[in-house]
Amino acid sequence: MSRVLVVGATGMIGSHVAADLAARGDAVTVMARREPSERDPRAIAGMPRLRGDYTDAGSAALLDGFDAVVFAAGNDIRHVPAAQEDDAFWERTQSVGVPRFAALAKTAGVGRFVQIGSYYHQLHPEWAERIPYVAARRDADERTRALSDDGFAAITLNPPSIVGADERGLRRFARMIAWTRGELDEPALFAPPGGTNYLSVRSLSQAVQGALDAGEGGRAYLVGDANLTYRDYFQLLADAAGSAHTIEERDEEHPFQPDRFIVQGRGAVIAYEPDPAETALLGYDRGDVERALAEIVTAADAQR
């Protein structure tokens, strides 16, 4: 049994990871900036909690006693208004904040540090020259992994768009599901052009377990599953919802997939196949996106 600290466990990804690690027998502690509340995902209710903010310089003593850290708290462009997205924000939450926290973990004697990053810079390193968010993710990834040595294994998982939901996320999906069923007057039933790779949160959680158990210190693993256009993705959700409607493609900005969140630009597609050997090493399932969407629909409908 390993003693694992999950940072960012009040979020959708972190809460799934924490619950899955606990289910396999690890002693899981969650780290969050606030005390437990009704806003927390049910999956982490009752778990020991360490209150703290990874962006603070802090003390290594805070992390004493943990064998491993799973870092699932990295901020991205969805977490900040455009007007506040500046160099200082990205330094605090990514390029400086993450490796500084990893260094604290190393000083505290933590043996393994698994960071959940993002796929953009690993697929397209040239984007970091023009997109501050991509540059910040790259720096957080590379600077953290550079801390690896014989006693400290820092590993990054760089996933694509994640399909999953916690209680808060279900409210957003409920609106999308109603939209696919034609229950909303707006927006029209269309998707913007372009697309990306998708991975279920269950598959990502499996990859985290694999990285903790067998990942190589200093390595960044590109993980992923299904290459889909945005139209394909919305149609899969519509099909899972039992909708008879067909989603068309239209070259317009869409409120459920706004242009600001399409890092590659509207109309462009990010498609790739993860390395089979790395997929086997990490032990995560592929072909899981449709199941994840069906699970979301079932859960959202149960709350109606």
Distance of alpha carbon 118 from alpha carbon 13, whole angstroms? 13
Instruction: State yes or no: pLDDT of 34 exceeds 90.
Output: no
Distance of alpha carbon 211 from alpha carbon 25, whole angstroms? 16
List residues bridging with 162 in a β-sheet.
Answer: 199
pLDDT band at 27 (very low <50, low <70, confident <90, very high): very high
pLDDT band at 120 (very low <50, low <70, confident <90, very high): very high
Q: Which amino acid is at 133?
A: Y
3-state SS string for 268-300: CECCCCCCHHHHHHHCCCCCCHHHHHHHHHHHH
pTM of the model: 0.95
The string of pLDDT tens digits covering residues 178-227 is: 999 999 988 999 999 999 999 999 999 999 999 999 999 999 999 999 99
Distance of alpha carbon 104 from alpha carbon 113, whole angstroms? 11
Mean pLDDT, range 85-92, rounded to an integer = 85
The string of pLDDT tens digits covering residues 123-181 is: 999 999 999 999 999 999 999 999 999 999 999 999 999 999 988 889 999 999 999 99
The string of pLDDT tens digits covering residues 92-115 is: 999 999 999 999 999 999 999 999
Mean pLDDT, range 5-9, rounded to an integer = 95
Domains (range + CATH), the chain? 3-158 (3.40.50.720), 163-196+227-302 (3.90.25)
